[in-house]
């Protein structure tokens, strides 16, 4: 066999990713061996994709190959050389070993696409590595938005609160103001005063708004939980339809993302017997998403849950539910991981990696939606350091996964956290001063990982 015949040139061609709120950073790690051809597959779900053909097997790598000045590729091999190039730039020979190695290659800056090409070198360039694994491709991209759960009452009553939110955070989730007890206090009577003020506050500063939440078994008005006449499926379904349609249509174009359903599973991964599930039946979730999609076809629709960052029955149940919903054509676009971190259950980096990859493989985006890390009082300097590490791990996981679109902390500051000021659970202290973890989270969310 000639030397040139042994050089398998692998190319991944991508088209430009339209500028959107969903810029992507990495390839979800389908650890693939580079054998055979790499072809583009723009039809794959979730945006641009690269398909690596591995002989009879095929692995789809979702690649964020929109224009970027450089591309980072994580490779591992058998102790040989491989050549890597991005865009139309020159090949760079890389010696790959048995541990993961990140290589940065420059792209044709300003070009419409950033193809990543891999080649086995001829023998003159060194011994060719016959087996190379590709783990992840990252491009430089916009930072992940750091948002905060924000309270309307504090905007006007707590001196310094509005300024602290506006100067620290890039996105807003109304902490309570969109929940049903607030928005529909009496049947068919809607009150949007509080929610409107928050949405106006955010939009006036070009901050995206997460709508929290359309369907929840908490903070329901009494007329829903204690009806004068017992509910029938038909009547409660009509309530569900009217509620979702009214809220989503009202905020069309102003609320970017909706937590359509919130905390619908029990810790063992079964559907929670909420009033919605008991009266309407299991299909209330399908219907909620369909009503939301009909009211705003452009809103990003999320299923949000608590305690699902680590593997286990709860997470398994959520993965099953998301898979089944999507298989039935239910418009679930994303999964929210609340990440209320209790010290007993801190997820490791590799657990988060597995978790975010697992859900990205289902074709949905992921998000950290309610992060907080409460500490046991009295809080020591060592505990604050541990807290900083936990926040850093969460933020890095989000940055490293192309699917992870946003990171929201539950409460702007310790003084107004639902966890209680003494647990110091958020990113700003009770005087709105940034903690060292704040700067770290921001660095991690922009890929500037120290
Ligand atoms: O609105 C009443 C007000 O009229 C009254 O004067 C005041 C007196 O305490 O209470 C007010 O209600 C409070 C409500 O927040 C609005 O401020 C409730 O007491 C209080 O229990 C409620 O807590 C909220 C909690 O959800 C309710 O379940 C928290 O602020 C909010 O942070 C929390 O958020 C949830 C997410 O929605 C879902 N994931 C878990 C997360 C934490 O529990």
Give the model's pLDDT for residue 56: 36
Residue 77 has which token pair?
């091999």
Give the model's pLDDT for residue 75: 73
Residue 173 has which token pair?
């989730």
> Is 28 known to be catalytic?
no
Rounded Cα–Cα distance for residues 367 and 193 (Å): 28
Residue nearest to atom 29 of ligand 1 (CA): 418
Which residues lie across from 50 on neighbouring strands?
40, 61
Catalytic annotation, pick one of 175, 309, 367, 370: 370
Rounded Cα–Cα distance for residues 385 and 392 (Å): 10
Answer yes or no: is the C-beta of 418 below 6 A from any ligand 1 atom: yes
Give the model's pLDDT for residue 269: 97
- Peptide bond connecting 177 to the previous residue in cis, omega within 30 degrees of 0: no
Cβ atoms of 122 and 3 within 8 Å: the answer is yes
Residue 85 has which token pair?
């190039």
Q: Which atom of ligand 1 is nearest to the CA of 306?
A: 39
Answer yes or no: is the C-beta of 217 below 6 A from any ligand 1 atom: no
Ligand 1 midpoint to CA 342 (Å)? 19
Residue pointed to by tokens 């359309």:
214
Residue 315 contacts by C-beta under 8 Å, 6 or more apart in sequence? 269, 308, 309, 355, 358
Nearest 5°: the CA angle 171, 172, 175 is 155
Q: Is 186 exposed, middle or buried (0-12, 13-18, 19+ CB in 10 A)?
A: exposed
Cβ atoms of 148 and 408 within 8 Å: the answer is yes
Rounded Cα–Cα distance for residues 72 and 86 (Å): 9
> Is 370 known to be catalytic?
yes
Residue nearest to atom 11 of ligand 1 (CA): 176
pTM for this one?
A: 0.78
Rounded Cα–Cα distance for residues 24 and 114 (Å): 13
The sheet carrying 365-371 orders its strands as 171-174, 145-150, 404-409, 365-371, 334-337, 300-305, 257-262, 210-215
Give the model's pLDDT for residue 386: 95
Answer yes or no: is the C-beta of 185 below 6 A from any ligand 1 atom: no
Ligand 1 midpoint to CA 411 (Å)? 12
Answer yes or no: is the C-beta of 219 below 6 A from any ligand 1 atom: yes
Greatest extent of the chain over all pairs of C-alpha atoms, in Å: 85
pLDDT by position in tens, the chain (length 450):
222 221 222 222 222 222 222 233 443 333 333 333 333 333 332 333 333 333 333 333 434 444 456 666 777 776 777 777 765 667 788 887 777 777 777 765 544 345 566 666 655 555 666 666 665 555 545 678 999 999 999 999 999 999 999 999 999 999 999 999 999 999 999 999 999 999 999 999 999 999 999 999 999 999 999 999 999 999 999 999 999 999 999 999 999 999 999 999 999 999 999 999 999 999 999 999 999 999 999 999 999 999 999 999 999 999 999 999 999 999 999 999 999 998 668 999 889 988 998 998 898 989 999 999 999 999 999 999 999 999 999 998 888 777 788 999 999 999 999 999 999 999 999 999 999 999 999 988 876 665
Rounded Cα–Cα distance for residues 35 and 151 (Å): 53
- Antiparallel, parallel or unpaired: β 257-262 and 210-215: parallel
Ligand 1 midpoint to CA 281 (Å)? 27
Answer yes or no: is the C-beta of 405 below 6 A from any ligand 1 atom: no
Mutational pocket test of ligand 1: of 152, 418, 420, 421, the residue with most ligand atoms within 8 Å of the beta carbon: 418
Mutational pocket test of ligand 1: of 151, 175, 336, the residue with most ligand atoms within 8 Å of the beta carbon: 175
Among 230, 366, 293, 224, CA closest to 285: 293
């Amino acid at each position: 066999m000639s030397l040139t015949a042994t050089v398998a040139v692998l190319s991944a061609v991508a088209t430009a990713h339209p500028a959107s709120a969903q810029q992507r950073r990495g390839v979800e790690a389908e650890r693939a061996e580079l054998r055979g051809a790499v072809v583009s597959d723009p039809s794959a779900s979730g945006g641009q994709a690269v398909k690596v053909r591995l002989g009879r097997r095929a692995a789809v790598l979702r690649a964020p190959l929109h224009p970027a000045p450089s591309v980072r590729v994580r490779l591992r091999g058998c102790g040989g050389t491989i050549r890597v190039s991005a865009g139309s730039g020159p090949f760079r020979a890389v010696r790959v070993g048995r541990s993961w190695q990140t290589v940065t290659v420059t792209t044709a800056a300003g070009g419409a696409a950033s193809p990543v090409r891999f080649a086995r070198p001829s023998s003159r360039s060194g011994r060719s590595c016959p087996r190379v694994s590709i783990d992840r491709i990252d491009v430089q991209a916009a930072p992940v938005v750091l948002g905060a759960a924000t309270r309307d009452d504090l905007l006007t009553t707590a001196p310094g609160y509005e300024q602290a939110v506006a100067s620290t955070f890039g996105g807003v989730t109304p902490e309570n103001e969109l929940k049903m007890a607030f928005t529909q206090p009496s049947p068919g009577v809607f009150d949007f005063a509080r929610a409107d003020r928050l949405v106006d506050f955010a939009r006036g500063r070009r901050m995206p708004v997460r709508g929290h939440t359309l369907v929840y078994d908490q903070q329901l008005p009494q007329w829903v939980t204690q009806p004068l006449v017992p509910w029938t499926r038909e009547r409660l379904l009509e309530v569900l339809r009217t509620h979702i349609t009214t809220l989503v249509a009202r905020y069309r174009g102003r609320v970017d993302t909706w937590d359509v359903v919130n905390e619908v599973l029990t810790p063992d991964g079964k559907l929670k017997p909420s009033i919605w599930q008991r009266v309407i039946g299991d299909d209330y979730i399908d219907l909620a998403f369909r009503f939301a999609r009909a009211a705003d076809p452009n809103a990003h629709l999320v299923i949000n849950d608590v305690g699902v960052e680590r593997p286990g029955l709860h997470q398994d149940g959520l993965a099953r539910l998301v898979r089944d919903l999507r298989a039935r054509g239910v418009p679930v676009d994303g999964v929210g991981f609340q990440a209320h971190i209790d010290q007993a259950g801190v997820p490791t980096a590799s657990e988060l990696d597995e978790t975010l990859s697992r859900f990205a493989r289902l074709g949905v985006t992921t998000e950290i939606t309610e992060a907080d890390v409460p500490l046991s009082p009295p809080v020591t300097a060592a505990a604050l350091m541990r807290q900083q590490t936990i926040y850093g791990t969460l933020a890095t996981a989000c940055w490293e996964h192309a699917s992870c679109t946003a990171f929201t902390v539950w409460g702007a500051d310790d003084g107004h956290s639902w966890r209680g000021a003494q647990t110091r659970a958020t990113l700003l202290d009770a005087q709105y001063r940034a903690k060292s973890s704040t700067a770290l989270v921001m660095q991690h969310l922009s890929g500037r990982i120290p």
